Chains A and B, each alone.
Chain A
């Protein structure tokens, strides 16, 4: 027996997806060990090996592909556990990072605001005499004596890690390289990262923030990732361990350890990759993924079969240049607290009751009503089957808290108040979906909604109805969707080059792409990918000359030449007009390319969901009981059949109103809607309006 494995090391749980040769999927869940993720990972693998009746060694030897996604980097940043880090920068610009371009757009209008603290203390920033200009020409050569003094000062202050960012280094990295060589030679124990290698993009503040974060994470991640891979290798793993990056692709441990900043934001990424997989498998070209957990909702898109991705993300109150999948998060989850403002307005969030004390129904002393309390009060959740029955819920406390905090102040019935809480949160989530669709000129009606995470399937139908989305999919792996996405990923290297070129320079642009492709291919070959398994996608960030924001266009990999200009212009203008409306095209301005980006990917073994022969539509074998559930459609409770997801068979059709209960989630099927278990055991819901 051979296996492919995806592991998602989350903040609370380590989820494992093991796929065997028969393409059967097995899900495993173990608690994460925050201080020692390697142990949490081995526990998860041990659980799997026990299940298959194999010794851990034999099990590991049978693994063809082992892939891991981890929040280690994200948590290290959130908890301020970075290394003691110094920064070396161009003389005159030590305050680039502390000033952070002022950045008040990220603060409320309240003038009582506090600036976000700098990533590192100001006294850990050293200036070195050197200067390059906008043409990449050296104006002032690097002063070696200055450099020596700067490094020594940082080392004497205890620096374990040093970041280097000079002005214009993305055009001419010569000075940064000299610094890198000097430190490696004289202080080999120090982790060094250069902005020209980590983020060779115009914009010194963002480049500095990126390389500093990389340095903060470097030593810790190097150790943690090393631990992971050596413990697995000792136990018999023969295949290289692969790590999930925020761009949605896998990479080797060595590469990840040198650029750990690319592991940030990787939390929800596996989930999106799984959405893309479903898109291909089920033939839905457009998918909106909603991952609703306890405190937040992550919304992501697959459009025309492609992820939506972004070049800048905001991490720890700084803007960084890390290509990552576009995820829009809002503070709406099961734990979001409902309250009444001015005695007149029902509000939900942004406060969350978190996991402790949690919603009122957890019975841990949390007296504030939450979305989970409202779901429970409306009968959507089974108080005895929450987390598969591991955690009983207290209905009386849920209702009491809603009555006291929401219903009484608004002179409403508690049930109406619970319904109101759900409507407000559903509307907020719909707005979040609107932001990533309509704001980008996409119509949500062209999409299917894929619901995962603990609460996604509870609210999916309501969101779909709000946005006129007719299909909702609850995947068979909904409770471990990220782990599935991770194992179904390829190795992807994103290369970028920032250089402003007009469309009259297409031959030059072609050369740049070729050069990047060559580097990407070389890296993949080193990682053991065969030439024939490599595929490439080109992107160009384009804008009107004079603008500061770009729109991204995918390009073909054909040789670019002057004859392609009219088509490029047409594509750009079409996209522009669809975003900004009539009268906005400005031909006189002419178009320029700002950043060339290339994904070079190496295809790896991918799991495939197994097809199961369809049974009859009758779901009676999975029927559990009836329960009284409130539906907005009828404005009342009604006796509703409950089904056990584990007992449903492909081909079964469940007519709404109905509830399908999974071990880690609950699917609500409203009246007049219908859900069918497809041949892969995904629940496909058809929404009636």
Chain B
């Protein structure tokens, strides 16, 4: 195949990237769940006819890899002759590629004059998938307790939605009003993607488009290999722990050989009895995601960026579970930790290669998930994910970590307004603010996380499913930096909050409880809470980089003036008494 001219290549490449953006926007604008609209927990890919991703999700990037796996599953399941123009396929099987079964993918073949020329795919996180409890199933010990599993099925047949399957879906999930819009939003995304891709074919022809796909992938691969070659060859190791019902060791060795990289997770603990496991595709997706954000964020991301990467993962570890092990929390448990430990190992490689500016201390890790369900005082049912805070970013080798930076590799993330949350849900938030001193001290400070206090308001009681991770696992610093604060979930029951609120908005510490304040364990049975109970959720914060005593005095003073650190921390950790 002859080389495509550089001008046409650039034009088509830009257009493809724009299609990637537009597909996501279609879902965001039509979807309903806050996870889609605000957190942007979605992916949208364009792949060529052979299934190579050409436009890799620029939304939450990891979905780009899972969509590739799920497209492979669709192509395995259906004969070429069964794949017709206007069809759309649906799957959520974690062993076929979904991060967990709450993530549903809609995958559409794109035909031009009857010939299959490309694929569009859209994946997103649904609020509920009919598990034994609302949202996830923190106590489940078998993946069938975690809700519906769809192997690839045909959901739209030649442009006609299978209304029977749609009804089946709405009947089995707990937030059908939101999720119906979300699922239709995924159809909208693929509609938009298909229409726009066909416009390119119309204008430039099939032959040129295919040549572009090849060239784009080749360029991204060459550039990625070049970037890897700048690392010093060797083996760089890291181990971190994930806490749920117990501690799990997660180990990663990054092996740099010439222009390729291997992630070896040998030594990681065996699979868990509970949902914190991750199936292999989910683990790979998260490491892919972390890798591009850390090493090649400036490239056009596609299949080519991942060709230089190899994975070694023994079977049945907490990062490579097999059925019937549950994995409903995979997306934010095992696989998040896999990304975190890969970040540490890669950062060690960067430090050894004279690229310390690119190295990161650990970002805040420790997902907090609260799902409230019930009926409010007006008789309206609610399905609420009440957490709202933001984690702190890890310090970098040349600058502080980002305050309220979010999840390290969840680019595109944002959080909802308090007013949006309160309007949808019977909750009154008492505060959402920076968690002072939470970022690890260092020459460069870890980013502070935020903390949120709230209570039910407008309903007397609610069912609550509560779980979180890493309560006692600080987020490690790098190069002498101190660790960032851990995630903590506090609950005070039967308090005097309703009478206090008549005159003031108290700190959590000031609220008097029937029992004492309770620092919840990570794993909890379902419970019922009332409008006299008060929650405090403290998000995890980033680790520091370098020795705190090397921190610039001006920066310590500034942090103190702006309230990012306390006077105590300034004195004790930074060994300074800044001028006041």
- Contact assessment for A129 and B7 in the assembled complex, using a CB-CB cutoff below 8 Å: no
Tell me which residues across on chain A come within 8 A of B512, comparing CB atoms: none
Instruction: Report the nearest A residue to B290, measured CB to CB.
Output: A111
- Which of A111, A139, A202, A206 meets B297, CB within 8 Å? A111
Stretch at the interface among A274-282, A540-548, A644-652: A540-548
How far is the CB of B493 from the nearest CB of chain A, in Å?
A: 21
- Contact assessment for B180 and A92 in the assembled complex, using a CB-CB cutoff below 8 Å: no
A207 to B498, CA, bound (A): 28
B312 close to chain A: CB less than 8 A: no
User: Interface code B26-47, partner A: CB below 8 Å = 1, 0 otherwise?
Assistant: 1011111010011010000000
A309 to B208, CA, bound (A): 37
Among A85-132, those with CB < 8 Å from B are: 90-96, 98-99, 101-105, 107-115, 121-123, 129, 131
Tell me which residues across on chain B come within 8 A of A27, comparing CB atoms: none
A133 close to chain B: CB less than 8 A: yes
- Contact assessment for A107 and B10 in the assembled complex, using a CB-CB cutoff below 8 Å: no
- Contact assessment for B402 and A113 in the assembled complex, using a CB-CB cutoff below 8 Å: yes
B132 close to chain A: CB less than 8 A: no
- Which of B61, B178, B358, B412 meets A546, CB within 8 Å? B178
- Contact assessment for A111 and B6 in the assembled complex, using a CB-CB cutoff below 8 Å: no
- Contact assessment for A114 and B429 in the assembled complex, using a CB-CB cutoff below 8 Å: no
Tell me which residues across on chain B come within 8 A of A588, comparing CB atoms: 177, 180
Stretch at the interface among A186-194, A339-347, A489-497, A601-609: A339-347
A205 to B404, CA, bound (A): 15
- Which of A95, A103, A140, A549 meets B434, CB within 8 Å? A95
How far is the CB of A574 from the nearest CB of chain B, in Å?
A: 15
Tell me which residues across on chain B come within 8 A of A439, comparing CB atoms: 22, 25
Among A321-361, those with CB < 8 Å from B are: 342, 344-347
| Chain A residues packing against B (C-beta within 8 Å) | 90-96, 98-99, 101-105, 107-115, 121-123, 129, 131, 133-134, 139-141, 143, 167-168, 202-206, 342, 344-347, 410, 420, 423-424, 427-428, 431, 434-435, 438-439, 500, 544-549, 576, 579-586, 588-589
- Contact assessment for A167 and B419 in the assembled complex, using a CB-CB cutoff below 8 Å: yes
- Contact assessment for B180 and A589 in the assembled complex, using a CB-CB cutoff below 8 Å: yes
A420 to B10, CA, bound (A): 10
A29 to B61, CA, bound (A): 50
- Contact assessment for B14 and A93 in the assembled complex, using a CB-CB cutoff below 8 Å: no
CB-CB nearest 9 A-B residue pairs: A581-B191, A92-B431, A110-B297, A580-B188, A546-B32, A427-B11, A109-B411, A548-B37, A549-B29
- Contact assessment for B505 and A583 in the assembled complex, using a CB-CB cutoff below 8 Å: no
A113 to B409, CA, bound (A): 12
Tell me which residues across on chain A come within 8 A of B413, comparing CB atoms: 102, 104-105
Tell me which residues across on chain A come within 8 A of B418, comparing CB atoms: 93, 96, 167, 204
- Contact assessment for A111 and B420 in the assembled complex, using a CB-CB cutoff below 8 Å: no
Q: Given A111-B360, A121-B562, A122-B562, is A94 in contact with B504 using a C-beta cutoff of 8 Å? A: no
A113 to B411, CA, bound (A): 10
- Contact assessment for B11 and A546 in the assembled complex, using a CB-CB cutoff below 8 Å: no
Among B419-466, those with CB < 8 Å from A are: 419-420, 422-423, 428-434, 450, 453, 457-458
How far is the CB of B431 from the nearest CB of chain A, in Å?
A: 3
- Contact assessment for A544 and B181 in the assembled complex, using a CB-CB cutoff below 8 Å: yes
Known pairs A98-B434, A202-B417, A204-B419 / 17 extra A-B pairs, C-beta < 8 Å: A91-B505, A95-B432, A102-B415, A104-B414, A109-B301, A115-B404, A123-B562, A123-B563, A131-B505, A139-B457, A140-B502, A140-B504, A202-B420, A427-B10, A435-B18, A580-B30, A581-B195
Interface centre among A102, A133, A139, A410 (most CB of B within 10 A): A102
Interface centre among A90, A114, A134 (most CB of B within 10 A): A134
- Contact assessment for A544 and B7 in the assembled complex, using a CB-CB cutoff below 8 Å: no
- Contact assessment for A102 and B414 in the assembled complex, using a CB-CB cutoff below 8 Å: yes
A109 to B411, CA, bound (A): 5
B211 close to chain A: CB less than 8 A: no
Tell me which residues across on chain A come within 8 A of B431, comparing CB atoms: 91-93
B569 close to chain A: CB less than 8 A: no
How far is the CB of B410 from the nearest CB of chain A, in Å?
A: 8
B399 close to chain A: CB less than 8 A: yes
Among B498-522, those with CB < 8 Å from A are: 501-505
A87 to B184, CA, bound (A): 42
B307 close to chain A: CB less than 8 A: no
Tell me which residues across on chain B come within 8 A of A434, comparing CB atoms: 18
- Contact assessment for A345 and B423 in the assembled complex, using a CB-CB cutoff below 8 Å: no
- Contact assessment for B7 and A424 in the assembled complex, using a CB-CB cutoff below 8 Å: yes
- Contact assessment for B26 and A102 in the assembled complex, using a CB-CB cutoff below 8 Å: no
- Which of B34, B222, B293, B433 meets A92, CB within 8 Å? B433
A131 to B7, CA, bound (A): 58
- Contact assessment for B433 and A93 in the assembled complex, using a CB-CB cutoff below 8 Å: yes
- Contact assessment for A423 and B191 in the assembled complex, using a CB-CB cutoff below 8 Å: no
- Which of A129, A134, A202 meets B505, CB within 8 Å? A129
- Contact assessment for B417 and A205 in the assembled complex, using a CB-CB cutoff below 8 Å: yes
| Chain B residues packing against A (C-beta within 8 Å) | 6-7, 9-11, 13-15, 18, 22, 25-26, 28-32, 34, 37-38, 40, 58, 61, 156, 159-161, 177-178, 180-181, 184-185, 187-188, 191-192, 195-196, 199, 215, 219, 222-223, 292-294, 297-298, 301, 357-358, 360, 390, 393, 396, 399, 402-406, 408-420, 422-423, 428-434, 450, 453, 457-458, 501-505, 561-563
- Contact assessment for B293 and A110 in the assembled complex, using a CB-CB cutoff below 8 Å: yes
Q: Given A109-B58, A112-B396, A342-B222, is A580 in contact with B192 using a C-beta cutoff of 8 Å? A: yes
Tell me which residues across on chain A come within 8 A of B409, comparing CB atoms: 111
Q: Given A94-B433, A101-B415, A167-B418, is A143 in contact with B563 using a C-beta cutoff of 8 Å? A: no
- Contact assessment for B411 and A104 in the assembled complex, using a CB-CB cutoff below 8 Å: yes
A549 to B159, CA, bound (A): 26
- Which of B32, B505, B562 meets A544, CB within 8 Å? B32
Instruction: Report the nearest A residue to B426, measured CB to CB.
Output: A134
Instruction: Report the nearest B residue to A439, measured CB to CB.
Output: B22
Interface centre among B196, B293, B301 (most CB of A within 10 A): B293
- Contact assessment for B412 and A105 in the assembled complex, using a CB-CB cutoff below 8 Å: yes
- Contact assessment for B177 and A545 in the assembled complex, using a CB-CB cutoff below 8 Å: yes
- Contact assessment for A131 and B187 in the assembled complex, using a CB-CB cutoff below 8 Å: no
- Contact assessment for B187 and A581 in the assembled complex, using a CB-CB cutoff below 8 Å: yes
A95 to B450, CA, bound (A): 9
Instruction: Report the nearest A residue to B563, measured CB to CB.
Output: A122
Q: Given A101-B417, A104-B411, is A133 in contact with B422 using a C-beta cutoff of 8 Å? A: yes
Instruction: Report the nearest A residue to B203, measured CB to CB.
Output: A466
A579 to B30, CA, bound (A): 10
Q: Given A94-B433, A134-B419, A583-B191, is A109 in contact with B297 using a C-beta cutoff of 8 Å? A: yes
- Contact assessment for A410 and B6 in the assembled complex, using a CB-CB cutoff below 8 Å: yes
A115 to B439, CA, bound (A): 15
Q: Given A104-B411, A546-B178, is A109 in contact with B504 using a C-beta cutoff of 8 Å? A: no
Tell me which residues across on chain B come within 8 A of A545, comparing CB atoms: 177
- Contact assessment for A431 and B10 in the assembled complex, using a CB-CB cutoff below 8 Å: no
- Contact assessment for B411 and A107 in the assembled complex, using a CB-CB cutoff below 8 Å: yes
- Contact assessment for B9 and A580 in the assembled complex, using a CB-CB cutoff below 8 Å: no
A105 to B61, CA, bound (A): 12
Interface centre among A424, A548, A581 (most CB of B within 10 A): A548
How far is the CB of B41 from the nearest CB of chain A, in Å?
A: 12
- Contact assessment for B502 and A115 in the assembled complex, using a CB-CB cutoff below 8 Å: no
- Contact assessment for A582 and B159 in the assembled complex, using a CB-CB cutoff below 8 Å: yes
Q: Given A102-B404, A114-B399, A586-B180, is A427 in contact with B14 using a C-beta cutoff of 8 Å? A: yes
Q: Given A427-B11, A435-B18, is A95 in contact with B180 using a C-beta cutoff of 8 Å? A: no
Tell me which residues across on chain A come within 8 A of B156, comparing CB atoms: 583
Tell me which residues across on chain A come within 8 A of B177, comparing CB atoms: 545-546, 588-589
Tell me which residues across on chain B come within 8 A of A204, comparing CB atoms: 417-419
Instruction: Report the nearest B residue to A430, measured CB to CB.
Output: B11
How far is the CB of A338 from the nearest CB of chain B, in Å?
A: 11
- Contact assessment for A109 and B61 in the assembled complex, using a CB-CB cutoff below 8 Å: yes
Instruction: Report the nearest B residue to A548, measured CB to CB.
Output: B37
Instruction: Report the nearest B residue to A426, measured CB to CB.
Output: B11
- Contact assessment for A580 and B191 in the assembled complex, using a CB-CB cutoff below 8 Å: yes
- Which of A121, A168, A546 meets B181, CB within 8 Å? A546
Tell me which residues across on chain A come within 8 A of B185, comparing CB atoms: 580, 584
Tell me which residues across on chain A come within 8 A of B61, comparing CB atoms: 109
Instruction: Report the nearest A residue to B378, measured CB to CB.
Output: A135
